Structure formats: C-alpha cells, structure tokens
Chain A
C-alpha cells in the first residue's frame, strides 16, 4: 500500500515529559485519517513534527515517501495545514492575509477568490480580520491551508469555534476533498463523533502512544453489542455456562455474552433454565464508539 505519511518510532520529549513516544503512524493515499485522542495526548505535537515545526527527539518521518528531514521544502510545497488556533494578521483584510501567503507559495491570484468561495468568506474578503468571529477566522485558516492546492491536508481541530451549520459545511467539504481533488486528509480531534462522520481510517493516541490504528469499520467492530443476563446465583450460573462451552464474562453479578447470535443467546438462556437458575433479565448492551474510545484510553492509563 502507498503511504502518504509514515512515521517510524517517532518520539518527542520535553525534558522529563514524554509528549510523544514511539508513534508509528501510517496514512494511506486518498484516506481521511481521523487522529483522535483526549486533550494533551500528543496530537498537536505530532502534527507540529509532521510539518517540521518541531524536531523529533528520535524517529523518522516520511511524507510522500521522502524523508522530511532532507526534503522539507519540497514536501511542504505539497502540504496544506492549519495548526491549533487559527493564525492571522489582524490588521490586514482576509484577502491581504491570503495574498501574503500566496506570494510565498506562488499560486495565481485567482486562487484567493477560489478558496474564499470554498469556505464561503467571499463577502467578507475586504474586511479586516480583526473584526472576524472565531468561526470566520477558522474558515480563513482553512482557506489558507487550501491555497496551494495540496496533496496532503493537515487540519488540527478544524471545526473548533464553528457553529453547527458551519461544522456540517466544513465536514462536507473535507469529505469531498479526496474524491474531487485527490487529497489525503489528516484531521485531528478530541471528539469521536466528529471523526466518526468523516474519517475512513482512525488512529487513536493517548499519552503520546498510538493505541489503535485501523479503518473505521474495524473500530466499529468493537461496537458490537453484548447481551447481559441477570440471574440468581450468578457465580454458579456463569460456571454452568462455561461448562457448556460458551463464552461468557462475569462482572458485578451480571453475566455478559459478547457478540453472540440469537440462537446462541437462546441456547444459553434455555441451558440456564434447565439447570434451575432463575433468569431475571436479559438485556442488550449497546456500546457506542464513544464508550470504546473511553475504554481504550482508560485501559491505557491503568496499564
């Protein structure tokens, strides 16, 4: 598979603190890669290293199959980015802000109007950015990141400060980029629902370590329901089920049957009744991606 971004054993330490350690990130071409993790997990530090804004303590970064250390300028020509809070020059208008960057990336002037149109800021193009709302500044940042028509777009929390309709707009924009412009997108967020609606591949990071990296479908597999049984003498009943060769868990006196077909559940219940246990409740436990995310990040903290 062709990887647009690949990191090997990427680490960054600030003194004693290990912000990122041994990160192996793989982003295949044409994917929307959701980079997920709680606040302070090392997402922004990783992104800053991908853009050459920070030097890794150790490890290697390859973008477009080139070493970032050696080919930084050539790589950055093909990358667009928005890091953390939007940066802008408040005393200049939106168009002048983009013009200052356009001069450096060397695109035709027309491109400024195009990107303003994409983020729906055309009407405010001649206003000073000083008076923009946070959402408008964020849009300007996204416009700036699209200026050089990049092959890899890196967006750090791009929907921060946007209103619901703005979020939907930006989400649709991001979703359309891979198919329409052939872009690969890396998008970070601490909100799973956000990533869930856009990403095709997910990387979950916590405490500077990558704890999950696969397609969003693979992640959804974790979300399959399990059936919970509340019975009399749960301990004995659990053993009885195990004795019948069924997969079952016991937690706080409640038996759980993970990922079972209807027949298996029926069989388990029938078995329990035949063995003389009283079945009080049979209920389905639905786990959202949110639960899985929390569980994954919590496990990492415990371990």
Chain B
C-alpha cells in the first residue's frame, strides 16, 4: 500500500512549485557564498589557512535557516494539496489507512529534503573547486555539513507536518513556522534543548553528531505523537 500511496503523492506535487523550491533552497545557500566570495575573496582567504574549512563554515551559516524555512514552506505546500478543496475526506474514503497516508506525506517531504541535501553537497563542492581553495578536498566535512542539518531538523519537520495536517486554519502552522525560523536565526543565543537550534549543529560538547542522534530520536517521537493524534481525529 505504501508504494501506491507514494506514487500518488509524488503525482500530486506536480505543478505546485515544490520541485522548484527543492532545487532553489541549496542554490540559494551556495549563491550567498558566491556573492560573499565574489565581493571579498582575497579578504576571506586571509582569514583562515584552512580555506576549505572556512568556506564550509561560511556555507553552513545559511544552511540551518534554509532548511527550517524549507520545511515550513514545503509542509504547508504539501498539506495545501489536500486542504485546498478538503480532499482529505476523499483520500481517506479510499481503502487506505490513516497511518499510511501520514507516513506517505512524511516520506515525500523527507525525500525532497534529502534531494536538497544532495544538491547542496554538489553545489558546495562545485563552487568550492571553482574557487581554487587549494589543499585537499575535505569530503568528510562536506558530507557532514550537507546531511547533518537534515537529520538534526527532523523534529521540526515532524512538528510542522502535524500542525499543517490537523489545523483547519493554516495560519497556525504558518505562525509556528515563522516562529521556528526566528528561533533558528537566533539559535546562537538559545539553550541546547530547543529543537530549532539543532540544525546549527552547535552544542556544549562541540560534537555535531549529538545533534544528529538527538534529531533522529526526537524526530521519531514527535512523528509518532503527531501520527497518533492524526489517526485519532475525525477527518476534516
């Protein structure tokens, strides 16, 4: 059943601008550094001898914001597909389980964000090479900075999906989303337990992997809680 649901979901996101956003996100993040390095390349090269590392840090300064913003926009687009003409009732009157429907939405969003992450990796690598940063290419760091934020942001994804799927008024998930983006933006000054800070990959132990594990764990819990609530409710 999951396969059928997923192929139906991927069909429904056609012409919604969802694929466009998926590509635009990583382009935006790298484009910021294109401007940055385009304007003051020499100055930036002088800042740190590890030019690749410094470049990756610069890239990562916009990734968390882009991923949280992306999650907010994608979840709201995704749920608008059903909310627009209240097609939930039509979808749920088909022989599908509510859990299956919820899982298929979550899966599609995860796949889109993973595609964004892969693109981020490729764009970062390509622009990095074109900058002629010198030294060896730090593939481990590249992978880390491309995929860790996605896993660290899973709780935000679970939370936004739940809010968008159960709210009759879409102002609720949008408000929550804007709040989340602001919290991510101000993440440096916030305590570690706030899920919106996690994509920054900062913590007291200076070990980004903790954010990944926390993200996966908390994401799973929030996902399960959201799904249970979604299943329990009457269809809108």
Contacts and interface: CB of A to CB of B under 8 A. Distances in A.
Given A90-B84, A91-B16, A100-B8, A105 B90 contact: no
B101 to A, nearest CB: 10
Nearest to B235: A53
Interface in B13-48: 14-16
A244 interface: no
Interface string B64-106: 0000000000000000010011111110111111000000000
B234 interface: yes
Interface residues of A, number: 32
B15 A91 contact: yes
A83 B84 contact: no
B89 A83 contact: yes
A90 B85 contact: yes
Given A48-B235, A53-B234, A87 B86 contact: yes
A73 B97 contact: yes
Interface string A86-105: 11111110001001110111
B232 to A, nearest CB: 9
A40 interface: no
Contacts of B11: 92, 96, 99-100, 103
A77 interface: yes
Given A83-B89, A91-B14, A106-B4, A77 B95 contact: yes
Contact of A48 (B5, B81, B89, B94): B89
A104 B8 contact: yes
B7 interface: yes
Contact of B15 (A86, A92, A105): A92
A272 to B, nearest CB: 61
Contacts of A92: 11-12, 14-15
Name the residue among A53, A88, A90, A144 with the largest chain B CB count within 10 angstroms. A53
Q: Number of contact residues on B: which range applies?
A: 20 to 34
Interface string B92-131: 1111110000000000000000000000000000000000
A9 B3 CA distance: 38
A85 B92 CA distance: 15
A79 B93 CA distance: 9
A74 B235 CA distance: 19
Contacts of B4: 103-104, 106
A104 B5 contact: yes
Nearest to B13: A91
A51 interface: yes
Given A87-B86, A90-B84, A53 B5 contact: no
A76 B89 contact: no
B14 A76 contact: no
Contacts of A48: 89, 234-235
Nearest to A88: B85
Contacts of B15: 91-92
Nearest to B96: A104
Interface string A223-266: 00000000000000000000000000000000000000000000
A184 interface: no
A55 interface: yes
A81 interface: yes
A103 B85 contact: no
A89 B15 CA distance: 11
Nearest to B86: A87
Contact of B14 (A96, A101, A141): A96
A194 interface: no
A100 B12 contact: yes
Nearest to B16: A91
9 contacts: A54-B235, A74-B95, A85-B85, A87-B90, A88-B85, A92-B11, A92-B12, A101-B8, A141-B90
Given A86-B85, A90-B84, A101-B94, 5 more contacts: A52-B92, A54-B234, A89-B81, A92-B12, A92-B15
Interface of A: 48, 51-55, 73-74, 76-77, 79, 81, 83-92, 96, 99-101, 103-106, 141, 144
